[in-house]
Amino acid sequence: MLDASEKYCIVGAGPSGLAVAKNFKQLGIPCDCFEREDDVGGNWYYGRPASCVARSTHLISSKALTEFTDFPMSEDYPHYPSHAQAWEYLKSYARRFELYGSITFRTSVAWIEPVGECGEMRPVGECGEMRPAGECGEMRAGGERWQVRLSDGTSRAYAGVVIANGHNWDPNLPNYPGQFDGLSLHSRDYKTPDILAGKRVLVVGAGNSGCDIAVESAQHAARTCHSVRRGYHYLPKFLYGKPIDQCGERLLHWRLPLWLRRFVTRRVVKMSLGLPEDYGLPAPDHRLYETHPIVNSQMLYYLGHGRIAAKPDVERLLGDRVRFVDGSEEPLDVIVYATGYRINIPFIDRRELNWGQDRPELYLNVFHPRHDRLFVAGLIQPDSGQWGLVDYQAQLIARYVRAVDRDTPRGRAFRREKARHRVDLAGGIRYVRSPRHLLEVEHFSYRERLKKLIAQLA
């Protein structure tokens, strides 16, 4: 039996953790995976504390652009699988690649810290400069160790750590002045529409979750209002009978310039749906793709039928009602805050993650510039499906680990690259400056970059 110090620790058995465990196994890299729930799935394990999906949740990216690279979703699945189908897919993935044996369930990671020489500043190589150990072309294979304390009180030493616990779990709640006397909840705690039935409901936030909840509220509540701070672009889930992300993928494969993709998409959407301002929503204050896309075929439909009332930002809570910034007021029974999540990794010192002002500053949002055996998988918000991208992340992590262990020239070159360079993950798009886009990546260019690096380390 291998000593734990020869293994890697993977935090979480959701989609990201499973992808890492599978790719490690394929390259013969031993690992232990720890999951606080009693099965795999993470966010897609509906009804568990780790999950923020509702009973009606479906993927907003099509299965073809969501699935792992070597494990297609069932042909029987619809274009947009339900959360139950997504969970079954993840369990099937874990069974197919025999990952269950590497996972310890009902056990969470309480704290992670480096031990030994990890990150130690000292003169290195021939240059004599004070740098993180291993610079100047040296690859100190075996010099980095990590202590992992578990929820059962035990501690283990590991060769490295991959953090894959997800980032959509710590609610970001607005701080409006005043007080609301009705029911308030964040979208992560919204599960079924019975709490909305016959009520006067306000949904705050125009992300995909907020729009999905507003649509569901329109079908059950007495009145539904939807508050947004700015105008957004709305895309239908289907275009010409195909999932819209697959239509967009075709434009990307054709290598059309960004301005032409914007023109084509906006023209087609305008012809099929109309513009947001046609339905009482504010006009977008930015160009298409500069915010995370809202993919919803029903939002504008219910606005057009009067089942959803468009409202601006909230100004103040007034007990049994809310005042908006335009001076209007609305009596309410329920407020659902679909206002996103804070990036929070609470079981490691932020200094070890090269934390910037709002997030870890990592190469490709994965690789630490100094630590050779500390990685974060899934710390992205793509404008398409995520699991396939995380699979490529995991492939690159596994190949880099092997390169570190073998001290290869290509591994040393990658090590220097991750230490010294920041890369543009936006694919030429200027995203609106907002917490919503701290982790945003343009999926096509990001995927191509990962594939190129994987090939270089193969």
Closest CA to 236 of 289, 171, 299: 299
Topology (CATH) of 173-236+273-339: FAD/NAD(P)-binding domain (3.50.50)
Query: Residue 386: is it exposed, middle or buried by C-beta count within 10 angstroms (0-12/13-18/19+)?
Result: buried
Mean pLDDT along residues 193-214: 97
User: Over the stretch 239-298, which tens digit does the pLDDT of each residue have?
Assistant: 999 999 999 999 999 999 999 999 999 999 999 899 999 999 999 999 999 998 899 999
- pLDDT over 90 at 17, yes or no: yes
Mean pLDDT along residues 342-347: 96
User: Over the stretch 218-236, which tens digit does the pLDDT of each residue have?
Assistant: 999 999 999 999 999 999 9
Task: Show the tokens assigned to 130.
Answer: 């004070």
Q: In the chain, what percentage of residues exceed pLDDT 90?
A: 88
The confidence score (pLDDT) of residue 129 equals: 36
- pLDDT over 70 at 120, yes or no: no
Burial state string for 294-312 with b = 16 or more CB within 10 A and e = fewer than 16: bbbbbbbbbbeeebbbbbe
Cα 10-12-16 angle, rounded to 5 deg: 85
Domain 4-169+342-457 class in CATH: alpha beta
The confidence score (pLDDT) of residue 137 equals: 35
- pLDDT over 80 at 136, yes or no: no
Q: In the chain, what percentage of residues exceed pLDDT 70?
A: 93
* Helix 387-406 vs helix 443-457: crossing angle, to nearest 10: 30
Q: How far is CA 104 from the centre of its chain?
A: 23
Cα 443-449-453 angle, rounded to 5 deg: 140
Domains 4-169+342-457 and 173-236+273-339 agree in fold: yes
Report the distance separating Cα 280 and Cα 270, nearest Å. Answer: 15
The confidence score (pLDDT) of residue 421 equals: 77
Would you state the torsion angle of the CA atoms of residues 430, 431, 434, 435, taken in this order, to the nearest 10 degrees? -120
Mean pLDDT along residues 419-423: 85
The confidence score (pLDDT) of residue 143 equals: 65
Report the distance separating Cα 311 and Cα 223, nearest Å. Answer: 13
Domain residue spans of the chain? 4-169+342-457, 173-236+273-339
